[in-house]
């Protein structure tokens, strides 16, 4: 229930399901903007066969998300979904490091733990956090001086989007857990099907 809506909307936005003025079959295909992003090597992912890749990824996320939501075929559908998350982490996010949102305070960054353990990349991340904090403070100062800062921050504070592998990695682990453990008891169709099949086989004896 936590992961399913994220996957559903991710798949939906790669398809043309919401477009008007196109035929039903065409609406099932990949969105041109997603195909361009998958295929363009300059500002996108530069993947081969982008139309096919978008179609496979989109329908895996969209249909798979609905299956996760109701708990049907959880173990089976979690395999291609986990693979999709792995590909996303390696192609779209890997070069940006770990964090999805760049920490702006090295004292509260999770990288501090690994810096204590002597990991050099973590120390570099902490230095980056200082630079992020300086830039955020400069941006806030400009907005406070020249903009309606209270209105601009009414819905939340500004952050620096790092777009690292953090979310994709967490989703991968969640899906890998479903592969081995299934959708759980009581709240999945899989569990009720299993119970029904067990009752049927018990009745035969």
Asked if pLDDT for residue 55 goes beyond 60, the answer is: yes
Q: Which residue segment(s) compose the domain that 147 sits in?
A: 102-160
Please, which pLDDT band fits residue 98 given cuts at 50, 70 and 90? Answer: very high
What whole-number distance in Å separates Cα of residue 30 and Cα of residue 32?
6
Helix (H) or strand (E) holding 12: helix 4-12
Q: Within this chain, do residues 172 and 84 fall inside the same structural domain, yes or no?
A: yes
Pair of tokens at residue 133: 């904090």
- Whether residues 6 and 63 share a domain: the answer is yes
What pTM does this model have? Answer: 0.88
Q: Are residues 90 and 109 in the same domain?
A: no
Q: Is 63 buried (19+), middle (13-18) or exposed (0-12) by CB count in 10 A? A: middle
82 and 114 housed in the same domain? no
Position 149 scores a pLDDT of 93
Q: Are residues 90 and 150 in the same domain?
A: no
For residue 204, pLDDT beyond 90: no
pLDDT-based confidence at 129, cuts 50/70/90? very high
Specify whether 155 is located in the same domain as 172.
Answer: no
Whether the per-residue pLDDT at 203 is higher than 70: the answer is: no
The tally of domains found in the chain comes to: 2
The answer on pLDDT for 52 being more than 70 is: yes
Residue 101 has pLDDT above 60, yes or no: yes
For residue 193, pLDDT beyond 70: yes
Buried b (16+ CB within 10 A) or exposed e, 72-98: bbbeebbebbbebbbebbebbbeeebb
* Residue 14 DSSP class: T
* 81 and 181 co-located in one domain: yes
Query: Domain check: are 139 and 85 in the same one?
Result: no
If residue 202 lies in a helix (H) or strand (E), which one and from where to where?
helix 189-204
Q: Is there a single domain that holds both residue 93 and residue 177?
A: yes
Shared-domain flag, residues 116 and 167? no
What is the three-class DSSP state of 161? strand
- Residues 6-14: what's their mean pLDDT? 98
| Span 18-37, pLDDT tens digits | 899 999 999 999 999 999 99
All residues at 6 or more sequence positions from 27 whose CB lies less than 8 Å from its CB, including other chains: 15, 16, 17, 19
pLDDT tens per residue across span 139-175: 999 999 998 999 999 999 999 999 999 999 999 999 9
For the ranges 18-32, 72-86, 107-121, 178-192, the lowest mean pLDDT is seen at 178-192
Residues 146 and 52 in one domain: no
The pLDDT value recorded for residue 70 is 94
* Residue keyed to tokens 């998958």: 38
pLDDT of 21 reads 93
| DSSP labels, 20-75 | SSS-HHHHTSB-HHHHHHHH-TTTS---SSHHHHHHHHHHHHHHHHHHHHHTSSHH
The answer to whether residues 175 and 143 belong to one domain is no
Residue 122 predicted with pLDDT over 80:
yes
């Amino acid at each position: 229930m936590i992961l399913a809506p994220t996957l559903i909307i991710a798949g939906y936005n790669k398809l043309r399901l919401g477009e008007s003025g196109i035929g039903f079959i065409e609406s099932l295909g990949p969105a041109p903007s997603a195909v361009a992003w998958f295929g363009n090597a300059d500002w996108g992912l530069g993947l081969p066969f982008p139309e096919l890749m978008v179609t496979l990824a989109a329908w895996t996320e969209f249909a798979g998300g609905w299956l996760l939501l109701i708990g049907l075929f959880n173990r089976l559908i979690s395999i291609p979904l986990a693979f999709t998350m792995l590909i996303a982490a390696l192609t779209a996010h890997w070069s940006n490091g770990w964090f999805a949102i760049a920490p702006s305070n090295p004292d509260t960054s999770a990288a501090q733990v690994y810096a204590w353990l002597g990991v050099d990349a973590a120390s570099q991340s902490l230095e980056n956090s200082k630079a992020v904090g300086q830039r955020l403070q400069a941006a806030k100062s400009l907005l406070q001086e020249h903009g309606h800062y209270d209105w601009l921050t009414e819905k939340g504070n500004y952050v620096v989007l790092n777009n690292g592998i953090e979310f994709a990695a967490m989703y991968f682990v969640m899906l890998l857990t479903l592969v081995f453990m299934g959708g759980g008891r009581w709240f999945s169709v899989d569990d009720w099907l299993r119970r029904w099949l067990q009752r049927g086989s018990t009745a035969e004896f």
